[in-house]
Chains A and B, each alone.
Chain A
Amino acid sequence: MSALWEKLIASLEFPFVQYALIVGTLVALCSSLFGVTLVLKRFSFIGDGLSHVAFGAMAIATVLKLTNEMPLVLLLTVLCAVLLLRTGQNAKIRGDAAVAMISVGALALGYLLMNIFPTSGNLSGDVCSTLFGAFSILTLSPTEVWLSVGLSLLVVGLFVFFYHKIFAVTFDESFARATGVNAAGYNLLIAVIIAVIIVLAMNLVGSLLISALVIFPALSAMRVYKSFLSVTVCAAIVSVVCAVLGMLVAIVADTPVGSTIVAVDIVAFLIFALAGKLKR
């Protein structure tokens, strides 16, 4: 036991581990904030689709051998978010069909690109770490660390500032629109923020596990709490606690960061589900 403890203390002295913890905490915080909106609005499928788009964008960035992959990935994912929202409102192509097309397409093209232009000898390792985020949080460049911190704070700020509008638009979009709220504008804002969150979270858990990071804390909080405010606050706390625990366990036990965090999230969900049952 004490050996593990010493290993943890020793690891925490490395600056890159400290950076990873800071970024991980912030990313977990902002991804949980939009969980309820994502779960209860049709944005859930957009979120899922976008994570695949982010994978495709990452493949392009890898093939181009960019030192900072984030700006390009961010740009492409935000563009796709806007595009998906537009087609989602078009009644001719059903929204979810459009998402399926774009997301599966991005996944296939991304893998194809990485195969045609391999950048390292370990192709399956590269693909795997992009999908599951293996250790990428520990290999962030200083620019990416600061970009992540800045964007996370921006996301939290926007959420707080537009909290009531987001509630109104998520709960009943028609009513909001009928009474003069610019629902289309806020939908666009939410879609863009979700794209940003997905790119941020990709560093932490990889593109396949992003939905888990966004959705699990919200679902856990919804088991026990009943108002939008209490669910939001609870989801944020659960998400941060699970991310920190997950990262510490991953450091000590040498497990992949992303899947360890998601495993802790699942345990938290089971605890909350049980608590919800007992409360009744």
Chain B
Amino acid sequence: MKWYESCGKDRDVIVSSRVRLARNIVDYPFGDRLDDASKKEIIAKVKDALADGKEYVFRDFASLSETERIAAEEEHAVSPEFARGSGPRALIESADGTAFIMILEEDHIRIQTITPGFSLDEAFDKAREIDGKLDSKLNIAYDEKLGYLTHCPTNLGTGMRASVMMFLPGIAHSGDLRSLQNQLGKIGLTIRGMAGEGSSADGCLFQISNQVTLGVSEEETVAKLVQITERLIEQERTLRRKMYEADREALTDRIMRSYGVMLYATLVDTQELFRLYSDVRLGVSLGVIDCVTAERLDRILVKCMPAVLIRDNDGVRDARSRDRARAETIRRLLSGAPEGKK
């Protein structure tokens, strides 16, 4: 199931877990040095390598409309570079919606898995399974000393980026983000804000990932991220409680106001959506709101992204019609039967 369709562990803090593996095929240059004929060869080779089962869906990504491409980015299926790039490229998606193989992103092949909640081991196992399938059919570029050879030297070694998307209103409120960023940097991890357009931190969403890929094994990378994430989950929960206890009435008021807007507003823009999402998601974790789940809110956030709205709704064109469709989508998804189990 897609990451926004099922619950997963520690969902109050962890939105999703991701693993990305960068792979390249020997004898082909990288990026701009590839001509279109070679690009098509690579696409065909990867497609063939995964053709044995029916569990993959192949899409000629270059032939999709811009809306569809950006919508895929907004659903976290592909990277911004891949969505906005040009030239032949393809996307292979697992039928269960958890794995995406980008062909001709920065590297020839990017295997990406995304699973709900805190589930890095699951994401890693899925990525490794696909990696094994590709490896049995393709000559993957590798060097005994440098490991997997990648376009950018920052990915040499394992070619792996493991990450968790965290909802951190408590830590953000405490103002400790800068020092957290520094601390994580010292142990080879990075944190990035994941706000929408306008780049405000209203969504309180942050992605934490490993930076180093050479000299550490895949297992060590995952284990370290798991260990740090566990600590951050505890810290976040404590800070949320503290924030709540500091002024229950004021925070409850803010949360309920945002919930009220979600239920009744007619027009909602992206920036407001992030703020509403963050308030109500916090409310759910504090027990202030019990008629909606965190994963339902994550689903709302994805389904209300601009390109997704245009793709999924008829007659959405300008900003006004988008804001209207967004408000409708929020209301519709809030009133639906709860998905998944807490």
Is B a genuine binding partner of A? no
B residues engaging A (CB < 8 A)?
A: none
